[in-house]
Structure 1
């Protein structure tokens, strides 16, 4: 018996309602502007559910000379309950306009849906505050009561003939369809809230871990500085000893400053000031900056740099490769060679940084660039983390090949640009 009434037209009407609900949820979830403005969200809700209601009317379940049967009351009540009287009024206007265009104007239809609007608008403020189980039963009960009430009004006013299809499609089925639609709305909304809460928790976890790491790493050099200052206060010391203590204290303060600088680079938003960068010129400048450190570690520098243009922030570009070059030099405690190459390959600029240092295990390679992970005994991992972030901000990719006691090769691929840098400087010492 049920199969006679649950047919393709019923399923089509249900599909139109689901499309309206999913369309609202998808657009709402992906638009920050709509989420911030209540007016925008109500306009979106009204538009999506108007579409669903009009489709239900356009492709009805059953038509007889007296009445067109479909599930248009479901999106109508759904919009009024969630959006209030304003959304309900818009839905009523659009429903009557569509009804008039499709089948002609019917005063009884206007009376029926005006009664539904008034009742649903009164219930709406309370409905929105209810927990999900209560919303489901409220939606079911309200839809059923309104169907019975409006049917009674229609019989009294217009001597409306109540047929079996009318009872099935207007009184009995819509409450359950309405309950299902509310369940879907609530489930999608809870999923959005859960995802937002998860993202917030992840951000807080990162901040807390980063803060703990920074405080730990800064505490170490400050403890050293404090100790040497206390030694300097103990009494007269040889001039050479005082200078050594002061030099060590200054080095530790510089280390603390470097940790803070790396953290700020990682934490602050990507710079808006971007420009064409000639990678050969900028990499050569970084190699010149790092040369004293390389000399102190008995590391020789070798470079083969082709001119290629990328778009980015010059300061961040230099800091990225300064961090990577420092990591490579520190990976060669017994000396070695740092090789840097840059090649322009079609639509990309490929930069390789290789050393013949201590290398990394597969696990260390996998964790390269993670917060708080470092292969160095006193490292924070911030240098690599900052470098990786800058590469990704420039739209680039990176890949590491490494073997223990053989060395490491880092390959960075950045999108090339045809825009020329403002400077005419083109000479590079290779």
Structure 2
């Protein structure tokens, strides 16, 4: 698509040069066709195509000696540009500009020599000065613009690749850290079972710990798979009140253990469409984080509001809140060896699921003052049937 657009641009430029010509003498016209031919030939390898079009357009003025000269000159120029183009592209940016300008000046010089022998010219100095300066300056400006844009595109591409590599490295560190910890614990208790003789009760206790740690590692892997493949497996109608009540029942023991009071204010019959299992996973992560942010107790408030088009779910806690850095990195992986807890994988999953369900997330938080998550989903309104 890019190459087709470029070909169209150069052909249009060539036509424009033929339309806007300057007549020096009777039968002798000057134009700027060398500019698109040189730029297109060197940067895109379009020398033969543009030269053929130039020769054809020259034929509309008649098949005379000038046409024969044009055919010979631009035929040779096309061959030269086609051969030089691969070598030209490999050169450094300043050299490419210099070579393009030099070749344009040489082509203009040859044209002027032909004109000297073929047509009597008035004000020769002005003609030589203009025809050597204007095409060369035009090529210099266009070449500089091309090089400038190419350089910026390369820098942008490099930054995108660097950002992707950074995210992959951080995610790898985060996942390996979260998986290594439970596996290390499980491995330690397996060694205890192998090396020491323990009674049945102690064995069952150790096996329970091993099972819990392996389940923890499995959850991390499951979160990663959800993040990497967030596509919804099944779309169904979800009654928000029922789904959030189900999630809260699962988390109630954790809330009791942290002395967290849960308050709810649900809009009846508010519905959205989405994947039930992923919706549960999303809010399990959010509500679990909210409860764990209040280790000394507090209040967790979940409320829903409906607008004409959306269902809004707000989750508010009065926990430890987040720093500005943590707030900025929500939805990204993070891992620190300086004691910061967590990997960010859980919130990455939350953001991934909400995006897959075409929802939005807004977060407000202040360190020591709690956090408010606001989720917006398109409201599902059942069609009314009239009997």
- Pairs within 5 Å for 1:262-277: 262-266=223-227, 268-271=228-231, 275=235, 277=237
Determine which of 347, 353, 367 is the counterpart of 1:390.
353
Q: 1:230 to 1:269 in 2, by over 3 A?
A: closer
Determine which of 251, 269, 282 is the counterpart of 1:320.
282
Aligned to 1:226: 187
Aligned to 1:46: 7
Q: 1:272 to 1:338 in 2, by over 3 A?
A: closer
- Pairs within 5 Å for 1:205-354: 205-266=166-227, 268-271=228-231, 275=235, 277-278=237-238, 280=240, 281-306=242-267, 307-310=269-272, 312-354=274-316
Bigger shift: residues 318-327 or 215-224 = 215-224
SS of 1:342 mapped into structure 2: strand
Highest RCO, 1 vs 2 (Cα 8 Å, sep ≥ 6): 2
Q: TM-score, normalised by structure 1?
A: 0.75
CA-to-aligned-CA distance 1:398-419 (integer Å, 9 cap, x gap): 1224562x64322222344557
Q: 1:132 to 1:350 in 2, by over 3 A?
A: same
Aligned to 2:81: 120
Query: In structure 1, how many angstroms separate the alpha carbons of the residues matched to 2:376 and 2:15?
Result: 52
Query: In structure 1, how many angstroms separate the alpha carbons of the residues matched to 2:146 and 2:154?
Result: 12
Query: In structure 2, how many angstroms separate the alpha carbons of the residues matched to 1:321 and 1:412?
Result: 10
Query: In structure 2, how many angstroms separate the alpha carbons of the residues matched to 1:386 and 1:343?
Result: 24
Aligned to 1:427: none
- Structure 2, unpaired ranges of 5+: none
Contact kept, 8 Å, 1:115 with 1:150, in 2: the verdict is no
CA-to-aligned-CA distance 1:265-295 (integer Å, 9 cap, x gap): 23x1441657464351433333344344444
Q: 1:387 to 1:45 in 2, by over 3 A?
A: same
Q: 1:138 to 1:385 in 2, by over 3 A?
A: same
Q: 1:272 to 1:139 in 2, by over 3 A?
A: farther
Q: How many residues end up aligned between the 2 structures?
A: 373
Determine which of 141, 145, 169 is the counterpart of 2:102.
141
SS of 2:343 mapped into structure 1: coil
Q: 1:273 to 1:218 in 2, by over 3 A?
A: closer
1:400 aligns with 2:364: yes
- Pairs within 5 Å for 1:134-213: 134-153=95-114, 159-163=118-122, 164=124, 165-213=126-174
CA-to-aligned-CA distance 1:184-235 (integer Å, 9 cap, x gap): 2222222212211221111111111221222222222222111111111222
Offset at residue 360 of structure 1 (A): 4.1
- Structure 1, unpaired ranges of 5+: 1-33, 35-40, 421-430
SS of 2:312 mapped into structure 1: strand
Aligned to 1:5: none
Query: In structure 1, how many angstroms separate the alpha carbons of the residues matched to 2:221 and 2:113?
Result: 75
SS of 1:411 mapped into structure 2: strand
